[in-house]
Chain A
Amino acid sequence: MAASKGLKILVGCKRVIDYAVKVRVKPDRSGVVTEGVKHSMNPFDEIAVEEAVRMKEKKLAGEAVAISVGPPQSQETLRTALAMGIDRAIHVEIPLAQLEKLQPIHVSKLLAKVCESEKPDLVILGKQAIDDDCNQTGQMLAALLDWPQATFASKIEPSQTIDVSVPAVVTSDLRLNEPRYATLPNIMKAKKKPLAKMSPDQLGVDLQPRQEVISVEDPPVRKAGAKVESVEDLVGKLREKGLVK
């Protein structure tokens, strides 16, 4: 690794439904409503992007590349990453029909293929996506590449005793940093940064689904509690439920 040039970092970003949106299940129970719903970068991925940009600012990293696997709109997510300070972006475009069936196993295979050509020293991913909460892509990618992994990282720094040798996969934890906001001027500047498009076929990865979603349901409604007037009442009710002898 050329210490003077700095590490090359690859950061994964996923476009998910915005964290503040009230998610609604579709009437046919096949999934959640995504049409016309606000989307943004997965918060843990924002932390990953921020870490890469900070490493660049500290001159630990020479180049930071963002990658997103998703529909055409994922370009907006990549633009946000570029606005935060990433140098260039790669978009692996998934046609809408295959999007719902996309699983971490497919994503990690796609990322592994890109790693073969890009040859990053460090891959930083969010620890999990807030839409599927799989928490798998980072670990799977490390296994596919046979690289060491450091998951739920709360701090990344070079040290005398090398705890994890590069190349490695790291997943980000909430503690790692506070991501900067991508303001409009930075978004406009980001439009000039390179954004390359790829398809899964080009990478030679098969997107056959391994799982099938049977149904998606709302969590059960909390049953109303009962108010009691006295301690005797409370004990009586607990006895009724068989919770107290």
Chain B
Amino acid sequence: MTSPPPQLRSQVIALYKNLLYMGRDYPKGYAYFRDRLKSVFLKNSGVKDPDQIKVLIGRGEFVIKELEALYMLRKYRALKHRYYEKDEATTSATTSSSDKKAPTKTQ
């Protein structure tokens, strides 16, 4: 089987670096995130088929979007809880009025 094109390799490395960078804000801590990220990438390191690799890269980019959404929601809820009264309307999008539980600080 032919080895995958070099630009895919650099894409994978860039994806890894980007995810690692985002791991710094992960609620369970950077070390936790980094270890899991490393093991997942290691597990898939044997994949040679370019189409398969592209699918996995797409999955990684999806995770980046999920993390962005997680971080934004967490921050929004924390600030809303700290600075605004329970019933005060602060919405432009995310929370509903039934959402009363305060987020727990994890770091």
Contacts and interface: CB of A to CB of B under 8 A. Distances in A.
**Is the interface on chain A under 10, 10 to 19, 20 to 34, or 35 or more residues?**
20 to 34
Interface stretch (B2-10, B17-25, B40-48, B51-59): B17-25
B63 interface: no
Interface of A: 18-22, 38, 43, 130, 154, 173-181, 183-185, 187
B64 A179 contact: no
B79 A178 contact: no
B38 interface: no
A41 to B, nearest CB: 11
Contacts of A19: 75, 78-79
A179 B78 CA distance: 15
B62 interface: no
Chain A to chain B: the 7 pairs with minimum beta-carbon distance, closest first: A184-B21, A181-B68, A184-B18, A20-B107, A174-B90, A175-B92, A175-B90
B79 A183 contact: no
The majority secondary structure among interface residues of chain B is: helix
B38 to A, nearest CB: 17
Interface residues of B, number: 29
Contacts of B27: 20
A179 B106 CA distance: 22
A38 B106 CA distance: 13
Given A20-B105, A184-B18, A178 B68 contact: no
Interface in B65-94: 68, 71-72, 74-76, 78-80, 82-84, 89-94
Given A130-B82, A154-B92, A183-B64, 10 more contacts: A18-B107, A20-B105, A22-B107, A38-B107, A130-B79, A174-B83, A174-B90, A175-B92, A178-B93, A184-B18
Given A183-B21, A183-B64, A184-B17, A174 B80 contact: yes
B105 A22 contact: yes
Most chain B beta-carbon neighbours within 10 Å: one of A175, A179, A180, A185: A175
A209 B53 CA distance: 59
A20 B78 contact: yes
Nearest to B69: A181
Contacts of B72: 178-179, 181
Nearest to A183: B18
A22 B29 CA distance: 13
B73 to A, nearest CB: 9
Contacts of A177: 92
A141 B94 CA distance: 32
